[in-house]
Amino acid sequence: MIYVKSTVAGLLAVMLTYLLVIVIGISLLIAANVMSKEQDSVIGFDVVAFGRSLLGMAIVVLAFIAGFFWEYLRVSRAA
């Protein structure tokens, strides 16, 4: 049961981290667009392409490992 709870915590950590990355990315793009001197420029953010990139996959793996071990250590100490 410890492994199931830890896996769920890892998956939740991945979802929350990815949501946070999307919010930060969109916020930075809006700020860059507002600060841009050229009003005709368009800046885009492709969530799917970011998820398939090496950086996106590394963030997902690190978030899962952090969430998994955090819950695993918390539950194993309580038992």
pLDDT per position as a tens digit, 46-79: 888 888 999 989 999 999 999 999 999 999 888 6
The per-residue pLDDT for 30 is 84
Q: Encode burial over 8-38: b for 16+ CB neighbours within 10 A, e otherwise.
A: ebbeebbeebbeebeeeeeeeeeeeeeeeee
- CA dist 60 and 51 (Å) reads 8
Percent of the chain with pLDDT over 90: 51
pTM of the model: 0.78
Task: Determine the structural domain holding residue 24 and report its residue range.
Answer: 2-78
Q: With the CA atoms of 73, 4, 16 and 47 taken in that order, what torsion angle do they form, in degrees rounded to the nearest 10?
A: 130
36: tokens are 């841009």
Tally of CB atoms within 10 A around 63: 21
The per-residue pLDDT for 58 is 94
- Total domains in the chain come to 1
Average pLDDT over the chain, rounded to an integer: 88
